[in-house]
Amino acid sequence: MCGRFTLVQVEKIPTRFNAQIIGEINLRKRYNISPNQPVPIVFQESPNKVEEMIWGLIPHWAEDPKIGNKLINARAETLLKKPAFKESFLRRRCLVPADGFYEWKKLGKEKIPYYIKMKDSSLFAFAGLYDVWKSPDGRLIKTFTIITTEPNELVKEIHNRMPVILRKEYEEIWINKEETDVKKLQSLLVPYPAEEMEAYPVSKKVNSPSYDSEDLIKPVKIYIIPKNEQSQFDI
């Protein structure tokens, strides 16, 4: 799954995605984006605009918004089989700007956080789906989920899933209103080439959703010690 990511180069979004920021969006650098937080999104309905949406998809038909806590990710292989995602896959696709994400590797009894990004540190887009839910008091709440797929050669050493990162030339196809070819859309949901990415261990401070600081993406050393003891971080 993908449960944390970064958006440090937020000021580059308008140029990178050829989209205008709409409304009041917090443009601060984000080093630890977590579920239930607002994120700038480029979406199918208005592909030339950027709006904030909450991470954790609430289907428009949902009675309880808490379902969004369980829908932060959507498996690419089952999008058309899940009621929560099928309609959005066909009509409400989006781009989730990011410049890196975190996954946790099991090492004995511990889980070691790794930061994964492009080798050139460039901004990219996760493939996402969104929906609009109407609250009992009439507010329209836009939410999204990040699609995941099998890991590439780099990520599989850390985790058994990875978020779908779209190649830049496929982003326009993904949010094109006129694109209805299901097989073509599904063909985009593949692991990103491992040779263009890098990963390294980072501080366990990332485990706390409330901690959001630049030091989270700095590499740390892991000391491997006997199995009956715990690994130690150089932090």
Query: What pLDDT, on a 0 to 100 scale, did the predictor assign at position 234?
Result: 47
Query: What pLDDT, on a 0 to 100 scale, did the predictor assign at position 109?
Result: 85
Query: What pLDDT, on a 0 to 100 scale, did the predictor assign at position 228?
Result: 55
CATH topology of domain 5-233: hypothetical protein yedk fold (3.90.1680)
Q: Print pLDDT tens along the chain (235 aa).
A: 799 999 999 999 999 999 998 877 888 999 999 999 999 999 999 989 999 999 999 999 999 999 999 999 999 999 999 999 999 999 999 999 999 999 999 988 899 999 999 999 999 999 999 999 999 999 999 999 999 999 999 999 999 999 999 999 999 999 999 999 999 999 999 999 999 999 999 999 999 999 999 999 999 998 655 555 554 444 4
Query: What pLDDT, on a 0 to 100 scale, did the predictor assign at position 116?
Result: 99
Alpha-helix runs per DSSP H in the chain: 13-17, 83-91, 168-174, 182-186
Q: Cα torsion for 191, 19, 68, 177, to the nearest 10°?
A: -80
Query: What pLDDT, on a 0 to 100 scale, did the predictor assign at position 154?
Result: 98
Query: What pLDDT, on a 0 to 100 scale, did the predictor assign at position 235?
Result: 45
CA 150 to each of CA 157, 172, 193, 228: distance values in angstroms, whole numbers, following the listed order:
12, 23, 12, 32
Query: What pLDDT, on a 0 to 100 scale, did the predictor assign at position 163?
Result: 99
CB atoms within 10 A of CB 175: 24
> Which residues are catalytic, by number?
2, 103
Domain ranges in the chain? 5-233
Alpha-helix runs per DSSP H in 30-111: 83-91
CA 137 to each of CA 69, 133, 134, 229: distance values in angstroms, whole numbers, following the listed order:
21, 11, 8, 54
* DSSP 8-state secondary structure symbol assigned to residue 46: E
Distance CA(137)–CA(155), nearest Å, equals 43
Query: What pLDDT, on a 0 to 100 scale, did the predictor assign at position 226?
Result: 55
User: Per residue, what are the HEC states of 156-208?
Assistant: HHCCCCEECECCHHHHHHHCCCCCCCHHHHHCCCCCCCHHHEEEEECCHHHHC
CA 182 to each of CA 46, 96, 186, 188, 223: distance values in angstroms, whole numbers, following the listed order:
21, 20, 6, 10, 47
